[in-house]
Amino acid sequence: MKIFLDTADLDEIRRAADANLIDGITTNPSLVAKVAGKRDPKEIYLEICEAVDGPVSLEVVGLDRDTMVSEGKKLAAIHENAVVKVPLTEDGLKACRALVSAGTPVNVTLCFSVSQALLAAKAGATFVSPFVGRIDDVSGEGMQLIHQIRQVYDNYGFDTQILAASIRHPMHVVESMLMGSDCCTIPPKVLWQLSKHPLTDRGLEAFLSDWEGLGAKI
């Protein structure tokens, strides 16, 4: 499963990219607003695209088809790694079709149902982003959506990649893998949690204390 980092924070991106643990980045207007301050987001987008060797999702903020397509073309022109993110609305689907037909990869975001995911695939989306955590937030079963989309996409041979998003904790990542999600976009905090296990810490402690007894060096 491909791992994307869900952030616009360059320090976090470089930390994960240095460890070669990520296959790409996803951003959204809220994540950009957290880091941009007075800077032009397009400058930040270029730095992010140069920091990773993989797809970087950059979101439009227009609401009608034509505005989304023109913003999408500007975002795509920033760097070859750019993937244009559009919302799963009627205009978003139309913009998706137009951009994909022009050769621009598109990530259709804010997906909350399998019927929405069907339309994203039929609009030619490269990625679809079902928001698992936000469904859990309203007492729904976010992972059930991943399961349904996987089943429908496999039933009809859609090649849109499922990008599990709005990830809250490591079990969302584990379940996404077990359900066959193609990608998962993870906040930095959760990415580093994935590396943690108390038995690893305890085992290392025991090894080192046993070795210390030797007073030997490698």
What is the contact surface with ligand G3P in residues (CB under 6 A)? 6, 26, 28, 131, 133-134, 165-166, 185
Least distance to ligand G3P, CB of residue 26, Å = 5
Q: Does 42 qualify as catalytic in the annotation?
A: no
Measured from the CB atom, is 28 or 126 closer to ligand G3P? 28
CA–CA dist 192, 22 (Å, integer): 12
Crossing angle (nearest 10°) for helices 170-178 and 142-156: 20
CB atoms within 10 A of CB 211: 12
CA–CA dist 210, 206 (Å, integer): 6
Measured from the CB atom, is 6 or 71 closer to ligand G3P? 6
The number of angstroms, rounded, from the C-alpha of 188 to the middle of its chain's C-alpha atoms is: 11
Measured from the CB atom, is 26 or 116 closer to ligand G3P? 26
Least distance to ligand G3P, CB of residue 31, Å = 6
Least distance to ligand G3P, CB of residue 79, Å = 19
For the record, the structure tokens of 4 come out as 């994307």
Q: Exactly one of 85, 94, 196, 217 is catalytic; name it.
A: 85
Least distance to ligand G3P, CB of residue 183, Å = 11
For the record, the structure tokens of 15 come out as 């930390």
Least distance to ligand G3P, CB of residue 89, Å = 16
CB 57 within 8 A of CB 25: yes
* Strand 56-59, strand 106-111: pairing: unpaired
Measured from the CB atom, is 30 or 102 closer to ligand G3P? 30
CA–CA dist 144, 175 (Å, integer): 10
CB 124 within 8 A of CB 145: no
Measured from the CB atom, is 76 or 167 closer to ligand G3P? 167
Residues labelled as active-site residues: 85
